[in-house]
Amino acid sequence: MEYGPRLAISEQVHAEKHRGKGETFYEAMTRLVGGLNDGEEHRLKLKDIFLDQRFLPAGRIQAAVGSTRDVTAFNCFVSQTIEDSTDGIMEGATNAFKTMRKGGGIGYDFSTLRPRGTMIKTLQSPASGAVSFMDIYDSVCNTVSSAGNRRGAQMGVLRIDHPDIEEFVRSKQNDTHLRNFNISVAVTDEFMEALVQEKDFYLRWGNNNDVAVNPAALWDEIMRTTWDWAEPGVLFIDTINQMNNLRYCETIAATNPCAEQPLPPYGACLLGSFNLVKYLDYNEYDGEVFYTFNYDKFRQDIPHIVRAMDNVIDRTTYPLFNQEFEAKDKRRIGLGVTGLANAGEAQGWVYGTKGFLAFEEKVLCTLRNVAYTYSVELAMEKGTFPAYSESYLKSGFINTLPGGVQADIDNHGIRNSHLLSIAPCGTISLTADNISSGIEPVYAYTTKRIIKSDGGDEIVDVPDYGWDRLDVKGKVADDVTVDEHLDVLATAQHYVDSAVSKTCNVGDDVSWEDFKNIYVKAWSLGCKGITTFRSAGKRFGMMESKDRAA
């Protein structure tokens, strides 16, 4: 039987990024299974799941587990708290270098650094500001050769009440500055309430006197920049902390580079996604072809993956000791889904419609309930995560779980503090023959990619999986309304304990006022963050559509 990607570009990318030299797909999956199993029965189950690509471990896991290369299996980290001193800033840069050298992306909160113009008493000179020091980290990333053909990835975060916020917002209004950073503003409830109630908002840092600003004017500046440049993203930092399962023992100020993992200082998380198109059953009745989703197979696979991902925590290398301690103390994992658009539309539910949202909700509810239930079983077998406390049951997200699951946690504890995350899944989705990424709509029915061959580079057409394999066309990203994007995002966030990476594409027909309201609505719906992209803006997408109407 033939395993692995069928498309030439998918095979090439998987070989380049996830496999050793000369290693086949079958050999790579066998390597993974060998490194993650807990016995013969588990090994056989994992082998079936991985070879069928029903679960796609994130790229770092695929490249690291069982490999001779000294790289980490963790995709993402958040930096230590950066101390406001020369030594603190440079220590942060050194640790970032070590992290990226092992293949990990990293996020930073720069809000701890004093604002531009603040007097440095020991030097009797003004500080250059938080944004100026981001250049150091940008240069570090630029010079690091990340493991496994992976470009260094960074997220820079600044609180909206930091006096340098306007400089931060403007820092990427170009194509040259901070190229190795995504940036996001940590927006507080205090700011959103001031915006809605039309009252003053105050910028502050340390013991400095508060400076009143007009929140509407500051919001307009943030919105205008993301309207044109698709950055900064917005993180609703108070929602993140209020819903955090570990709010009793940590405070979150930043996220990983794609924002699906809000993490504490030195925080780390493992990622992987269930490939939903692989759970579609082909049916034929009275000459008509239709697909149904096999929930029984999905439920049966989830426990084996929870166990395997938990094993990664103990069987990988870490760039820093503090990252290892943090990971083992809390045992975060981030299970998600990909191929949602293809799987939903194959069953007749167009992206963003009520039927599609009901499918999304059932899939994610199933994933949440089974993952949490099995993590309790793992705790009974292997012990709870060390930082577990009865206070865990008081978190906002835990209170959304079914009563029976909450009771099980109360009685037995739980192995993993967090279990769920929706990542962008761009590379792993391409290696699974170009399924729709994460919970995003289909980008285009055909895209162009460069493939390497003996005769040199060649531009090839890459078809969408749903159109090519399932003979289904639904909606492409630019045809999805803003409200449909938001509904998909909010539905996912309700069932995810970490966060959701999702881009809301905004068409030319959306007015300036409606655009700004997208973010206010996302906050009111309980989303932890939001990013938008306008194809008419100044920053264009990476891929080119061959024929959107084909």
Q: Give catalytic status of residue 425 as yes or no.
A: no
Select from 109, 458, 46, 129 the least CA-distant residue to 251.
109
- DSSP per-residue letters across 298-350: HHHHHHHHHHHHHHHHHSS--SSHHHHHHHHHH--EEEEEE-HHHHHHHTT--
Helices (H), 37-85: 40-51, 59-64
| Residues listed for the chain | 550
Residue with tokens 């490194």, as numbered in its chain: 35
Distance between CA atoms of 369 and 113, rounded to whole angstroms?
Answer: 41
Per-residue exposure over 209-243, b if at least 16 CB sit within 10 Å of its own CB, e if not: eeeebebeebbeebbbbbbebbbbbbbbbbbbbeb
Select from 270, 530, 234, 276 the least CA-distant residue to 417.
270
Cα angle vertex 197, ends 196, 200, to 5°? 105
Distances (CA, A) of 119 to 201, 208, 499: 24, 11, 38
* Residue 67 in tokens: 């490999």
Q: Give catalytic status of residue 258 as yes or no.
A: yes
What are the two backbone dihedrals, phi and then psi, of residue 170, each rounded to the nearest 5 degrees?
A: -85, -5
The residues that bridge with 181 in the sheet, in sequence order, are 154
The amino acid at 198: E
The residue from 75, 95, 182, 256 that is catalytic is 256
Asked whether 528 and 243 are in contact (CB, 8 A), the reply is yes
The residue from 244, 245, 250, 258 that is catalytic is 258
The residue from 250, 260, 324, 345 that is catalytic is 260
Q: Give catalytic status of residue 269 as yes or no.
A: no
* For helices 25-36 and 40-51, angle between their N-to-C axes, nearest 10 degrees: 150
* Residue 372 in tokens: 């949490």
Helix (H), strand (E) at residue 458: strand 456-463
By annotation, the residues acting in catalysis are: 256, 258, 260
